[in-house]
Amino acid sequence: MYSSIRYIIIILIISFIISCVDDEKRSTAIPIDLSRENSYADSIIDIVGHIALESTEEALYAEMRKMYMTDSNIYILDKKPENLKLYNFTTKGVYVNKTMVGKGPGEVFHPVDFFVSKDKKDIYLWDILNKMVVFDSKLNYKTQLHMQSNVPIYNMAPLHNGKWLISKPEPPVNGDDNVFFYAITDSTSFNSIEKLFVRRPKDYHDLFMKHPISRWYFGDIKFVEPFGYRILGLNDTMIYVAYEFDFRELSLSYKDISENDMSTILEMAWDGSKVVGIRNIIESRKAIGFTIMWDKKYEYVIYDKSSKNYITSIEAYNSGQLPHGKLMALDGEKNFVIVSSPSDFNSWKNNYGNSSAKKLTVETYDNDVLTIFSIAKTK
């Protein structure tokens, strides 16, 4: 596969170096204060509704890896090794179908990512065994494509020109120390890589970034740097900085990274001393959200593009505006969706829940509950 590489471009210098910006550049970044006391949660969050997913035996999944929601369908990819399947529910939470585990036609052995086509008619499910399986909107099998390579691919998204952005490529030449996080491929077959970019630091070859590529059809695809606080955009010809965030004293410095190994840096995020990178970008026309790892938890931030306000999951929880949950998707193009366990949802419902929440009966061992909300209001 790599023998067919026509050229390699290094668009970014070692990514963790450029993410540690100087004072002048930091002044242009969007400041995020995870400990601020004056929250705007009650003025910018509007709950649209809740969806309790059907919890019959055939509909139960173990733990959500990814979710995508259209006007009529919800797709959920399970992450547990014993249950690696893609599930389909209606937007009322009714179970429809799921994929089968296996290596035969229409079966998927180890799915790690999926993508819904712009017209919502095709579902592309990527098997780490170098197979792309295509289903219709109800997960009925259509076709599959194979890639003859040992390269592991963990995330993918189509570009406007028909090519695909993929993450976690390997070195282009045996023995080369240069390892790249991202590549552009020729098509859904992934049979040839055209460009590699965002070089992986030599001492961090094993670094794996979860969900580094956005899901967005009407603008450019967005993706993140390792350990960084910049969200980059990719169009057909160039990469650019779309957003840059500054967590102030919680941001990693060049010294933090140059003097510590990866495990130590992750410990900084675990003990709350640093915010380590951005992941899981979710963008609507009005706002952009992402997840961070900090203080033993995954928190999220949603930034309103027009008002320049932002809301953190910490503020949303503490004010009682939203239940604890993971920021996972949009309900099509507009509203954000968080996913809460039954216990987290019931705790919030009993203390703060609105009328639509109180109508739901969710048992401890049921599937997750989705809360759909907008940030249309501003202060």
**Could you tell me the mean pLDDT of each successive run of 10 residues in the chain, 379 residues long?**
34 38 58 84 87 96 94 95 95 97 91 92 89 95 79 82 82 60 77 75 60 81 88 87 95 84 84 90 92 91 91 93 94 90 96 89 93 76
- C-alpha distances (whole Å) from 305 to each of 64, 207, 286, 297 are 28, 31, 6, 26
DSSP string, 174-223: TT---EEEEEEESSTT---EEEEEEEEPGGGTT---SS-B-B-SSS-EEE
Would you state the pLDDT for residue 16?
40
**Residue found by looking up tokens 């941001």 in the block:** 251
For domain 2-374, give the fold.
Answer: Neuraminidase (2.120.10)
Q: What pLDDT does residue 2 have?
A: 36
Q: How many residues does the chain have?
A: 379
Beta bridge partners of 68: 75
Task: Locate the domains of the chain by residue range.
Answer: 2-374
Contact criterion met (CB below 8 Å) for 92 and 64: no
Tokens in use for 375?
């940030």
Beta bridge partners of 329: 337
- Answer yes or no: are the C-beta atoms of 298 and 324 closer than 8 Å: no
Going by DSSP bridges, is the β-strand pair 239-246/230-234 parallel, antiparallel, or unpaired?
A: antiparallel
Instruction: Give the largest Cα separation in the chain, rounded.
Output: 61
> What is d(CA 112, CA 154) in angstroms, rounded to the nearest whole number?
6
State phi, psi for 336 to the nearest 5 degrees. -85, 155
DSSP 234-274: E-SS-EEEEEEEE-GGGBPPHHHHHTS-HHHHHHHHHHTS-
Q: 3-state class of 89 per DSSP? A: strand
Question: Which two tokens mark 101?
Answer: 């585990």
